[in-house]
């Protein structure tokens, strides 16, 4: 397998070489080489394994959208009177189209 290198990054892999721009070069690569590998001191190196997602990132993706949360909070009536007045003003200044 051949790896096409540009700026020390694998940008293509192929069984056979083909003509490329002067700032690119072909090198021998292991069969499992893919895009994203890096050439460091003449050695192709696979990218590091991705870190497992932490609970805060998992939660962030699982929570309902903030707009949906706030709308539910508004309709449940647990905001302070001041916040309700502010929200009502925004809603009246910007009515939903029918």
- Give the pTM: 0.52
Considering the domain boundaries, does residue 73 fall inside one?
Answer: yes
CB proximity list for 9: less than 8 A, separation 6 or greater: 36, 37, 38, 39
Considering the domain boundaries, does residue 98 fall inside one?
Answer: no
Structural domain total, the chain: 2
Give which of 54, 58, 34 is closest to 46, Cα–Cα. 34
Q: Are residues 10 and 30 in the same domain?
A: yes
pLDDT 10s digits, 17-74: 999 999 999 999 999 999 999 999 999 999 998 888 887 888 888 888 888 888 888 8
Considering the domain boundaries, does residue 50 fall inside one?
Answer: no
In terms of residue numbers, what domain contains 38?
2-45
Mean pLDDT of 10-21: 95
Considering the domain boundaries, does residue 21 fall inside one?
Answer: yes
Q: Are residues 6 and 38 in the same domain?
A: yes
Considering the domain boundaries, does residue 31 fall inside one?
Answer: yes
Considering the domain boundaries, does residue 24 fall inside one?
Answer: yes
Q: Are residues 8 and 37 in the same domain?
A: yes
């Amino acid at each position: 397998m051949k790896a096409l290198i540009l700026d020390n990054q694998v940008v293509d892999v192929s069984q056979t070489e083909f003509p490329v721009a002067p700032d690119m070069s072909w090198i021998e690569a292991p069969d499992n080489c893919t895009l994203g590998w890096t050439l460091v001191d003449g050695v192709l190196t696979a990218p590091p394994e991705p870190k497992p997602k932490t609970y805060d990132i998992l939660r962030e993706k699982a929570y309902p959208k903030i707009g949906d949360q706030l709308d539910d909070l508004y309709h449940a009536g647990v905001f302070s009177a001041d916040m309700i007045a502010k929200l009502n003003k925004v809603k009246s200044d910007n009515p939903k189209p029918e």
